[in-house]
Amino acid sequence: MRVSLVALLGCIASVYGAFKSPTGSNDTTPMQVRLAYAGSTGMVVSWNTFAQLHNPTVYYGTDAAQLSHNASSNISVTYPTSTTFNNHVHISGLESDMLYYYQVGSKSGNVSTFKASRPVGDSTPYTIAVVVDMGTMGSVSLLMSFKPTTRLILLRKD
């Protein structure tokens, strides 16, 4: 089988480009946002960016139109083989079982939600899901098939 040098170089450039920030894009754009419960009244919000952040910030509140609180940190770390920085912010003082709206990095862009942990000792049944491979994204995503009662979704990276 013959492979031309031009085709091979094009393939390498395409793969290499997939791991670099797109030209002209904002290197601080949040991606791969994830959540972790931090005790009964806390949440850790983590995300990746192509650039290191000096003050990673999460804006949050109980009203999507008015994110009246914020939490920040100085945690924006990477490792030698990574092309992105991992940013982590710990939010504390949340009200148990309350739905919160949040934005990562700035007050512009997508507003997402999380529900704070239930109070300690609450034994009301709930559903969790463990997902190993997300498959496709968008309206046909596996996430779209979960019932509204699903409380927690655990994802394993591919």
Q: Looking at the structure, tell me whether residues 39 and 66 fall in a common domain.
A: yes
Residues 13 and 18: their CA atoms lie apart, in Å, by 9
Does 136 fall in a domain? Answer: yes
Mean pLDDT by 10 residues, the chain (158 residues): 40 40 69 90 95 96 96 96 94 96 90 91 80 53 56 56
Q: Looking at the structure, tell me whether residues 80 and 155 fall in a common domain.
A: no
Question: Domain count of the chain?
Answer: 2
pTM of this structure: 0.70
- What residues make up the domain containing 71? 26-122
Does 19 fall in a domain? Answer: no
N- to C-terminal Cα separation, the chain: 31
Q: What is the pLDDT of residue 158?
A: 45
Nearest to 131 by CA among 139, 149, 143, 140: 143
